[in-house]
Chains A and B, each alone.
Chain A
């Protein structure tokens, strides 16, 4: 799992932000912005929509800071609100589905040995899943959350989360083979 920032300084940030310190609040935003923005981007598939969503999530946080008890709670709260807000937007009639996660290149991610084409295609295929299943997969594989926490965040039974993961993995495998990204021999 991604480690929550939990040093003394970050605890003080939460306390100070609750007391109305905007600089402390900005620091909390910087600590969590990549998580919230990435949830928005993976869910909505557009950079502008992801930024809008992240802004809405942090504005909500600003109004609800008094109800945030700990840094762990803060991280959970942000993931839950971001994922559910994204699901709501995907389900709204006004939402237009993007073609395939923008045509703009992905922002800089940490360097790795992974095939960038495969990485991009896989992220695009994820966008073809239903909103709830997509949220489950993003929280599971981007945020590295366990099944129980995902179930709590998305207010669904644990077995439903497990079922979403299993079916989505199977569907993604099928799509990857269908798109000739891998062969059946690569993923038996």
Chain B
């Protein structure tokens, strides 16, 4: 009995081909970045795994502590450099302002001297004041 039905089953369950273009559609769906060769190359390039030894508490804390200390130091240095730069800029500003005032004073004096020289050279007429006053 079973032999007969087994033969019928074998006949009924013959393999069949997928629809036309199955392999092409599959290739189109393959991920570009996931090439097996690249995966293999990356695996080969990985460093050899170290034997698993449980790190001590200090070893576990060392890296985070060093990182935290570096951050604090970086922030402190940044603040110091910023403050120094601000002081320098302020000093330079004051210096520039002082120089400007000095320059203005010198210019003013020179203008006074020039004015005096011009007045000495071309004395105003005696009635100039009265005429100016009139006009």
What is A's interface to B at a CB cutoff of 8 Å?
Answer: 2, 17-20, 22, 25-26, 29-30, 33-35, 37-38, 41-42, 47, 50-51, 54-55, 58-59, 62-63, 65-66, 106-110, 112, 114, 118-120, 122-123, 126, 137-138, 141-142, 144, 169, 172-173, 176, 186-188
Contact = CB atoms under 8 A, between A and B. Distances in A.
Nearest to B8: A122
A62 B6 CA distance: 35
B22 A110 contact: no
Contacts of A62: 30-31, 34, 36
A26 B19 CA distance: 15
A37 B16 contact: yes
B12 to A, nearest CB: 4
B9 interface: yes
A50 B19 CA distance: 10
A108 B16 CA distance: 7
Contacts of B36: 17-20, 62-63, 65-66
A149 to B, nearest CB: 17
Nearest to A172: B5
B32 to A, nearest CB: 10
Given A119-B11, A172-B9, A41 B16 contact: yes
A30 B36 CA distance: 19
Given A122-B12, A142-B15, A172-B5, A37 B40 contact: no
B23 A26 contact: yes
Contacts of B29: 55, 59
B10 interface: yes
- On chain B, which size bracket covers the interface? 20 to 34
Given A122-B9, A169-B6, A173-B5, A38 B26 contact: no
Nearest to A166: B2
Contact of B22 (A37, A65, A144): A37
B15 A35 contact: yes
A42 B9 CA distance: 12
A33 B39 CA distance: 25
15 contacts: A19-B37, A20-B35, A26-B23, A33-B18, A33-B23, A34-B17, A38-B14, A54-B18, A62-B34, A106-B16, A109-B16, A123-B12, A138-B13, A169-B5, A187-B4
Given A55-B29, A110-B14, A141 B9 contact: yes
Nearest to A20: B37
Contacts of A137: 9, 13
A47 B19 contact: yes
B15 A66 contact: no
Given A34-B15, A123-B12, 11 more contacts: A20-B38, A22-B27, A26-B26, A33-B18, A34-B18, A38-B15, A51-B19, A63-B36, A106-B16, A114-B11, A123-B13
A107 B15 contact: no
Nearest to A54: B18
A26 B34 CA distance: 16
A63 B34 contact: yes
